[in-house]
């Protein structure tokens, strides 16, 4: 177990933290996450690239502690939709989180669990995004270089992926005329050709 009271230097380009646990998510791990199932199947036929990785520092401790991690999302798309993280609620719903952009160009999709209010915030280097409690959050790389960022959250937050598995996020981030745009999922799905 690493001693979090020590100075820990991280690598913002590779999103690496010495001795941190690393989770890697490849395209094949993200079935049902991207909006366009035809584009997803086609992309998988081409290979199974790394989509994102997260290096986390989550020592066992008291519930007043903080945990943190660095995420790295590779540049890429499935059809029109940019590479993204699965996204989650915190298991302990009141837990907020601070995201700090390190490199690259990103967008965060945020969605309140009860009100269903969905909105997006840019995630840029040297900028802070405050994710309130009770809010699902997904990070999207809209640039052509890796997106890296630091996330800091209460130790007792936990991660709940299951709550989003059926309904997914209400919005998608897709390329249109060479630029990223945020659209309602239903609107985007309706724009796809039916017969392909």
Binding site for Mn ion (CB under 5 A): 97
* Nearer of residues 70 and 174 to Mn ion, judged by Cβ: 70
Which residue matches tokens 């995420």?
71
Query: What span, in angstroms and rounded, lies between the C-alpha atoms of 161 and 29?
Result: 13
* CB of 131 closer than 8 Å to CB of 149: no
Tell me how far, at minimum, the Cβ of 87 lies from Mn ion, in Å.
Answer: 9
* Nearer of residues 150 and 183 to Mn ion, judged by Cβ: 150
Query: What span, in angstroms and rounded, lies between the C-alpha atoms of 85 and 34?
Result: 10
- Looking only at the bridges linking them, the beta strands covering 171-176 and 128-131 are unpaired
* Nearer of residues 164 and 174 to Mn ion, judged by Cβ: 164
* Nearer of residues 36 and 97 to Mn ion, judged by Cβ: 97
Tell me how far, at minimum, the Cβ of 67 lies from Mn ion, in Å.
Answer: 10
Tell me how far, at minimum, the Cβ of 92 lies from Mn ion, in Å.
Answer: 11
* Nearer of residues 97 and 111 to Mn ion, judged by Cβ: 97
The DSSP result for 94-137, as a single string, is: T--EEEEEEES-EEEEEEETTT--EEEEEE-BT-EEEE-TTEEE
Dihedral (CA of 121, 71, 20, 17) sign: negative
């Amino acid at each position: 177990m690493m001693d979090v009271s020590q100075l820990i230097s991280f690598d913002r380009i590779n999103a690496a933290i010495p001795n941190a646990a690393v989770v890697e998510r490849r395209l094949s791990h993200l079935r049902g996450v991207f909006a366009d199932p035809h584009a997803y199947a086609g992309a998988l036929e081409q290979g199974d690239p790394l989509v994102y990785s997260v290096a986390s520092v989550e020592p066992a401790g008291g519930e007043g502690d903080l945990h943190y991690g660095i995420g790295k999302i590779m540049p890429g798309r499935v059809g029109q939709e940019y590479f993204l993280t699965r996204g989650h609620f915190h298991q302990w719903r009141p837990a907020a989180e601070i995201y700090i952009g390190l490199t690259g160009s990103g967008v965060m999709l945020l969605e309140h669990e009860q009100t269903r209010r969905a909105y997006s915030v840019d995630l840029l280097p040297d900028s802070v995004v405050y994710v309130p409690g009770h809010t699902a959050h997904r990070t999207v790389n809209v640039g052509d270089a890796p997106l890296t960022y630091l996330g800091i959250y209460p130790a007792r937050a936990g991660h709940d992926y299951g709550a989003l598995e059926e309904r997914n996020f209400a919005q998608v981030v897709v390329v249109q005329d060479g630029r990223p745009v945020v659209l309602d999922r239903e609107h985007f799905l309706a724009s796809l050709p039916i017969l392909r």
